[in-house]
Structure 1
Amino acid sequence: MKVVKAGLQTTLQGAPFTGSRHLGMPAAGAADCLSLALANFLIGKPCGEIAIEITLTDAIFEFDEPCSIAVVGAAEYIRINGQDHPQHQPLKLMAGDKLDIGPSRPGCRTYLAIAAEIHADGLLGGQSTYLAAGLGGFHGRALKAKDIIPFSQVAPAVDLDRITPLNLRPHYSNDHVLRVTEGPEAVTACEGVMDDLCLRPYAVGARANRMGLALEGAPLKTGESSNMPSAAVFPGTIQLPPSGQPYLLGPDAQTTGGYPRIAQVIRADRHLIGQLGSGSRIQFVHITAERATEIHREKLSLLSSWLGQINLW
């Protein structure tokens, strides 16, 4: 597959890296694991297999070999040789076909899954791209025009009649509700900080990438713990810098941080972070840890009825 137009940031992404945080290796992996899982399932692959993650702008590819693909995400359109085609079902491409995946409107990311095995660099048991260190994926970097992405010529048979049920298709929007549990420093950061965080919406500012998103809105009060010894952080952790403007960590976030961890996006909602871009609006809702566990189990039960075994990271 040849990259004709790479777009703003197009990378090879799949399952996150696990078991290496003590080495300073972030999770990385697909920013929206649910869209990735749906795309992979349509062409008969496990949910965490490597696919192509396309961010914000359109991307164009040309195929030298026939293959089956599926596209799931925020793309405005999918065109093969100029003809529109739907998401959420397998598509058959012939040698010489040109695939145009449109910009994200609304939302932020789209996933292109290929039935054949995509050849990607591996390390620490994973193949996803970690851009900050130049590791994994396609030589550790985002794709650019004229890159050739090799994939196996042998691929399993694809059920071309497989279509994602309507009730399981994600809704892409610029307005999001993210449920959060109390973070380790929520009490010591400042009294009532969780209530204030959830009082009114925040907007994603210009500083928005796979590492994290700076949020803009009414500044939160900060206490004496505005700076503290570094402690473990994870994708979905919400930190409170001295400015009082919350910072939401993404999939490529560092493994430790020195700002108070006031909240944590629940695991069932964490894939939505991958669809947040500059200008997106977020309403946080505070729930208990026990309710977060229940929601996670309910969501896995719903998704497994279609996808089988699935892991939301």
Structure 2
Amino acid sequence: MIEVLEVGGSALVQDLGRPGWSHLGVSPSGAADRGALAAGNRALGNVPGAAGLEVVGAFSMRVRTDLLVAVTGAAAPVLLDGVANDARVLAIAAGTVVSWGMPSWGLRVYLAVHGGLDAPAVLGSRSTDVLSGLGPAPVQAGDRLVVLPGAGPMPTSEPHPRGVHPASLVMLDALPGPRADWLNDPDELYRRPWRVSALADRVGLRLEGEPLGRAITREVPSEGVVTGSVQVPPSGEPVILGPDHPVTGGYPVVAVLTAAACDAVAQLRAGTTVRFRRGSKRQ
């Protein structure tokens, strides 16, 4: 029902992931900005875990049947047959070309479709895991994507999914991690500004700044880690683990981001300044 015409960066099928398989060495994966995908599905009357597209960069597709879609996440102007449309929930006629370029703010755009995208489920999820290779292959130009029949009622009013708003400084709420006392001063992580480096993907994101001092310099044996774990490698510059992270890590975890902060990290571009602040709970 959808013909992909252009993928300028990456396009991945994502739902809410496959949690609960870490004992088999499988990361949770799923949408990097879970809130954005959930907002799109909610606007369309989909089940929360319906699969959509997570897109970085320019994207273009032609719909082969009438569709109701929601575009959420990063602020990318949507074009219908070349004409800009500011709506986030769109009724699209068969034959229409839908496209957008690089967002003005944020990084990842989410396309949700009424009914959700169809793809073979692996361990209960249609998500693409770029580290393990589980799930559908990355979407390429020329691919045809199948849309499942809508299971819920069509929306009766225009909802307004949240978007990514511009900010010169992004605050990330984080709880102390199990190895916070391995730092000379655990508060240093929260007092200093950090800059997002170009070394960032769905596996992890490296921050740049004045290195953190370590009170304990030896490394830990590999132990379980979760999405949003803030590790400190020997360089002293923190690394935030993303949804496709390995299930174990050998660097001390000094903090763990809240769920909302994990969504915010998914939209960070290289060069953005971030600061940590102490959160009160994980969810």
TM-score normalised by the chain length of structure 1? 0.85
Tell me by how many angstroms 1:258 deviates: 0.4
What residue number does 2:169 align with? 175
| C-alpha contact (below 8 Å) 1:11/1:129 kept by paired residues | yes
Runs of 4+ in 1 over 4 A off after TM superposition: 153-157
Tell me by how many angstroms 1:201 deviates: 1.2
Tell me by how many angstroms 1:174 deviates: 5.6
Query: Partners in 2 of 1:134 and 1:54 — Cα distance?
Result: 18
| C-alpha contact (below 8 Å) 2:15/2:51 kept by paired residues | yes
What residue number does 1:147 align with? 143
Tell me by how many angstroms 1:171 deviates: 2.8
Q: 1:33 to 1:216 in 2, by over 3 A?
A: same
What residue number does 1:124 align with? 123
What residue number does 1:7 align with? 8
Deviations 1:262-308 (A, max 9, x none): 11112332211211232222111124xxx226xx4xxxxxxxxxxxx
Tell me by how many angstroms 1:160 deviates: 5.6
| C-alpha contact (below 8 Å) 1:29/1:129 kept by paired residues | yes
What secondary structure does 1:127 align onto?
coil
What residue number does 2:51 align with? 50
Q: Does 1:271 align with 2:263?
A: yes
Matches within 5 A, 1:54-203: 54-55=55-56, 57-88=57-88, 90-136=89-135, 138=136, 141-152=137-148, 157-159=153-155, 161-164=157-160, 169-173=163-167, 175-187=169-181, 189-192=182-185, 194-203=186-195
Give the counterpart letter for 1:126 in structure 2.
Answer: S
Give the counterpart letter for 1:46 in structure 2.
Answer: V
Deviations 1:42-94 (A, max 9, x none): 11112221001111x11001111111111111133011111222243x31111
Tell me by how many angstroms 1:156 deviates: 5.2
Across the aligned residues of Structure 1 and Structure 2, the Cα RMSD in angstroms comes to 1.9
What secondary structure does 1:48 align onto?
coil
Equivalent in 254, 261, 264 of residue 253 of structure 2 = 261
Give ranges in structure 2 of 5+ residues lacking alignment. none
TM-score normalised by the chain length of structure 2? 0.93
Give the counterpart letter for 2:129 in structure 1.
Answer: Y
Query: Partners in 1 of 2:53 and 2:47 — Cα distance?
Result: 15
| C-alpha contact (below 8 Å) 1:219/1:244 kept by paired residues | yes
What residue number does 1:309 align with? none
| C-alpha contact (below 8 Å) 2:74/2:164 kept by paired residues | no
Give the counterpart letter for 2:184 in structure 1.
Answer: E
| C-alpha contact (below 8 Å) 2:106/2:164 kept by paired residues | no
Q: 1:246 to 1:266 in 2, by over 3 A?
A: same
Query: Partners in 2 of 1:159 and 1:286 — Cα distance?
Result: 38
Query: Partners in 1 of 2:211 and 2:166 — Cα distance?
Result: 27
Tell me by how many angstroms 1:98 deviates: 0.2
What secondary structure does 2:199 align onto?
strand
- Quick check: which one's helix share is greater? 1
Query: Partners in 2 of 1:174 and 1:62 — Cα distance?
Result: 35
Matches within 5 A, 1:15-30: 15-30=16-31
What secondary structure does 2:53 align onto?
strand
Give the counterpart letter for 2:180 in structure 1.
Answer: A
Give ranges in structure 1 of 5+ residues lacking alignment. 297-313
What secondary structure does 1:268 align onto?
helix
Tell me by how many angstroms 1:114 deviates: 0.7
What secondary structure does 1:150 align onto?
strand
Query: Partners in 2 of 1:226 and 1:61 — Cα distance?
Result: 51
- Quick check: which one's strand share is greater? 2
Query: Partners in 2 of 1:249 and 1:226 — Cα distance?
Result: 21
Q: 1:233 to 1:205 in 2, by over 3 A?
A: same
